[in-house]
Amino acid sequence: MKIENIKTFGDLKKAGFEYKTIKEELRRNLLQKLLKKETVFEGIHGYDYTVIPELERAILSKHNINLLGLRGQAKTRLARQMVSLLDEYIPVVAGSEINDDPFHPISRFAKELVHDKGDKTPIEWLHRDERFSEKLATPDVTVADIIGDVDPIKAANLKLTYADDRVIHFGMIPRANRSIFVINELPDLQPRIQVALFNILQEGDVQIRGFKLRMPLDVQFVFTANPEDYTNRGSIVTPLKDRIGSQILTHYPDDIKTARTITQQETMEASATKEKIYVPELAKDIVEQISFEARESEFIDAKSGVSARLSITAFENLLSTAERRALQNGEDKTSVRLSDFMGIIPAITGKVELVYEGEQEGASEVAEQLINSAVKRQFEGYFPKIEKLQKESDVDPYANVVAWFFEESGFELLDTLSDTEYKRQLNKIEPLEQLLKKHVPDISAKDKPFFKEFVLWALSEYKKLSKHNLGDGLEFKDVYGGYISGL
């Protein structure tokens, strides 16, 4: 029988519908997906052998869950994707505030309706998308918000005394009955609010303004928390932690490839609107490397974490920097340049928490250092290592490039250069072409200009050349040539 034809409790019984709790529902649907070898959590990368198996085990065990990890580790996304494990539709008693199941009504309204009308009790169908509630824990959250309170307006309209439990206005958790309820940043909840959750998690009791209601709420709780919160802003009270079945530790991507997959997934819309901007693969790797460098930087607070959103917003800014330059030059299409990375600094400064030493350096200076460190780290994967000290007998693969700069007074790459001018400027440095042919012979013609600038940045990081920010571009010089010419 189709659900649109099931309109009463009697129809529901005839259809053979069976009552099950939300945890049983999640468990059963997960088992079916696992048996069919279907992907359970779409668009979640880097967790295949760590977080996702632990989350699946928690669901199979019918546990309430706490996802513990630094910001930008997809904790909320994981919780939201659990909705896909719910049945598409479930029956509820029509008019119920708390999604009462007709087989097991728990509110006074639903109990009386089922008692009076029996099999003629009207039924509504609730879609799984409506069975997800989320609350960001903030210090101003009250018990009335999440559990409920006495409603004087309802008492007046119904002409009831405050001794009648029908004057209760249910809060978010009772209204999320038979749903997934997420509390983000749990430690930010005041301890007295956390205490109010004890009985709901364990016994199903709801206490509102002196009313002790035995309401066995059927809720799948998912909490998220940041480890930093345990020491800085608040903590999860021990008895509440004890009532949460599984605590799962999330983490950042372990490698550049995974990080790139996440960024490309999250920037598909931006990439689609700027499809005429060519982005070399190396540029994408450098964007991700910046986040990895930031997580190791002595200037950045490791406890606060470096969100995956840094790479996402940085990549969007990178595209926009190239797009803006192309518009100014009247070009239909362009390629990303390494100097465009100066345009992503605002995306970095807003995503990192600096320690005292970092504050002394300055946010923009730290961001620029991260970009330079990322260039240096990626350089090691393409070209011979640059030794700080070399024997006279050792062959220096970069000697010809450095010698070219020794003979020149300076070399400028201005931001306003058209693509043609940009390439022409880089082609002046003939030793660069020979260097690329020898060490990265397989790169495409489109990637060559980026790689040439990449070599110049790396040589400046290794103190083989000097790099100066001109405001409207960059200038590269020989480290010692400037001193000699000035004598």
User: Measured between alpha carbons, how far is residue 11 from residues 103, 208, 266, 296 in Å?
Assistant: 13, 35, 45, 62
Please give the sequence-ordered ranges of beta strands (E in DSSP) within 347-455, or none if there are none.
Answer: 411-414
SS3 306: coil
Question: HSE-up of 202 (CA within 13 Å, CB side)?
Answer: 10
CA distance 72 to 65: 18
Task: Give the orientation angle of helix 309-328 with respect to helix 281-296, to 10 degrees.
Answer: 140
The DSSP annotation for 108-147 comes to HHHHHHHHHHGGG-BEEEEEGGGSEEEEE--TT--HHHHT
- 213: pLDDT confidence band, cut at 50, 70 and 90? low
Beta bridge partners, 354, equal: 300
Q: Cα separations (Å) of 59 from 54, 85, 133, 175? A: 9, 10, 18, 22
pLDDT tens digits along 27-74: 999 999 999 999 999 999 999 999 999 999 999 999 999 999 998 999
- Say if CB 230 and CB 238 are below 8 A apart: no
Q: Is the pLDDT assigned to residue 75 strictly greater than 80?
A: yes
User: What mean pLDDT comes out for the span 207-212?
Assistant: 67
Instruction: Give the pLDDT mean for 70-79.
Output: 92
- pLDDT of 485 reads 46
Q: What is the pLDDT of residue 263?
A: 94
pLDDT at res. 230? 52
pLDDT at 114: 94
pLDDT score at 163: 61
Contacts 24+ apart (CB under 8 A), 377-380: 377/289, 377/292, 377/293, 378/282, 378/285, 378/286, 378/289, 378/454, 379/454, 379/455, 379/458, 379/461
Q: CA separation (Å) from 68 to 18, 76, 83, 225, 432?
A: 35, 11, 20, 5, 48
Domains in the chain and their CATH numbers? Answer: 3-139+175-185+219-249 (3.40.50), 252-381 (1.10.8), 391-486 (1.10.10)
Tokens coding 428? 């002046």
Residue the block writes with tokens 């546990």:
63
Catalogue the long-range contacts made by 75-78 (C-beta closer than 8 Å, 24 or more residues apart): 75/184, 75/224, 75/250, 76/134, 76/182, 76/184, 76/224, 77/43, 77/44, 78/41, 78/44, 78/51, 78/250
* pLDDT at 168 (0 to 100): 78
240 contacts 197 by C-beta, under 8 angstroms: yes
| pLDDT tens-digit readout, 369-381 | 999 999 999 999 9
User: Which tokens is 299 given?
Assistant: 């200037």
pLDDT at 209: 67
- Alpha-carbon torsion 146, 150, 151, 157, what sign? positive
**DSSP output for 207-249:** EETTEEEE-----EEEEEE-GGGGTTT----HHHHHH-SEEEE
Burial class (CB in 10 A: 0-12, 13-18, 19+), 254: exposed
Q: Is the pLDDT of residue 486 over 50?
A: no
Give the mean pLDDT of 176-200.
89
Closest CA to 234 of 301, 305, 145, 138: 138
For 29, 30, 428, 436, the CA distances from 421, given in Å and listed in that order, are 60, 58, 11, 20
Taking residues 207-213, report their average pLDDT: 67
The predicted pLDDT at position 99 comes to: 94
CA 152 to chain centre: 42
pLDDT at 454: 96
pLDDT(231) > 50: no
Do 434 and 449 contact (CB within 8 A), yes or no?
no
Q: What integer is the mean pLDDT of 89-94? A: 95
Contact 337, 344 (CB under 8 A): no
pTM of the full predicted structure?
0.86
Higher-scoring residue by pLDDT: 405, 196: 405
Most confident among 257-261, 392-396, 466-470 (mean pLDDT): 257-261
The better pLDDT of the pair 190, 90 is held by 90
pLDDT band of 147, cuts 50, 70, 90: confident
Helices and strands counted in the chain (H then E): 23, 16
Contact 165, 212 (CB under 8 A): no
Report, as an integer, the average pLDDT of 204-213: 67
CB 26 within 8 A of CB 59: yes
Give the pLDDT confidence score for residue 487 in this predicted structure. Answer: 40
CA distance linking residue 32 with residue 18, whole number of Å: 17
Q: Are strands 132-136 and 180-184 parallel, antiparallel or unpaired?
A: parallel
User: CA–CA separation, 146 vs 55, rounded Å?
Assistant: 25
How large a percentage of the chain has pLDDT more than 90? 65
pLDDT at 89: 94
For 254-296, what is each residue's pLDDT tens digit? 999 999 999 999 999 888 888 899 999 999 999 999 999 999 9
CB 3 within 8 A of CB 128: no
Contact predicate 338/454, CB 8 Å: yes
Least confident of 30-34, 51-55, 326-330, 483-487: 483-487
* pLDDT higher than threshold 80 for residue 435: yes
The C-alpha angle 183, 203, 55, rounded to 5 degrees, equals 45
With 70 as the cut, is the pLDDT of residue 211 above it?
A: no
44 in Cβ contact with 36 (< 8 Å): no
CA angle 162, 166, 168 (to 5 degrees): 75
Query: Per the structure block, which two tokens stand in for 90?
Result: 């479930």
